[in-house]
Amino acid sequence: MKLLILRHGKAYDPDPRRWPDDSERPLTDDGKKRLAKSVPAIKALAPKNVRVISSPYTRALQTALIVCQKAGWDEPEIDDRLSAHHGPEEALELLQSLPVSGNYIIVGHDPTFSYLPGYLIGANRLGATTLKTGAVARIDTGMATPAQGTGTLIALIQPKILAR
């Protein structure tokens, strides 16, 4: 499996008056622009024939849609297991349900997305691979089912570097 773990772009700060349901909180205009600038670097990291799977939360889905549109990829699939209210176990469950011969980009949230790369490469420390908003990590597991220690970290690129 070749996997890109993409944390959603910069979103507005939580504000219960504007977004009583935090799942509806969108990307900022600046977040959208920075993300669009990052797409060439994300595409260069991505294997061919990639399948994009996103959290249904607005900020993650907007991220996935921008990346897919700018990269020329099919629209993203939505999977609730990538939602912010779920943890790494559910994201791992999703990954383990996918064919290991595939190429994927998953789009979601912290803290899960900062934990997941470290877990897959066998790091014993929580937060070993912190992903800021808009950051991406590429993990390859070969033909192994994703589990702790089965992955190789190919790249971890924070958003300021991606947008250059």
Q: What domains does the chain contain, in order, with CATH numbers?
A: 2-138 (3.40.50.1240)
Please give the structure tokens belonging to residue 130.
């912190």
pLDDT in tens, 32-63: 999 999 999 999 999 889 999 999 999 999 99
pLDDT digits (tens, 9 = 90+) for 98-144: 999 999 999 999 989 989 999 999 886 666 788 999 999 999 999 99
Single pTM value for the model: 0.96
Q: Which of 115, 75, 76 is nearest to 92 (CA)?
A: 115
Q: What is the mean pLDDT of the segment spanning 137-153?
A: 94
- The dihedral built from the CA positions of residue 71, 77, 79 and 85, taken in this order, carries a sign that is positive
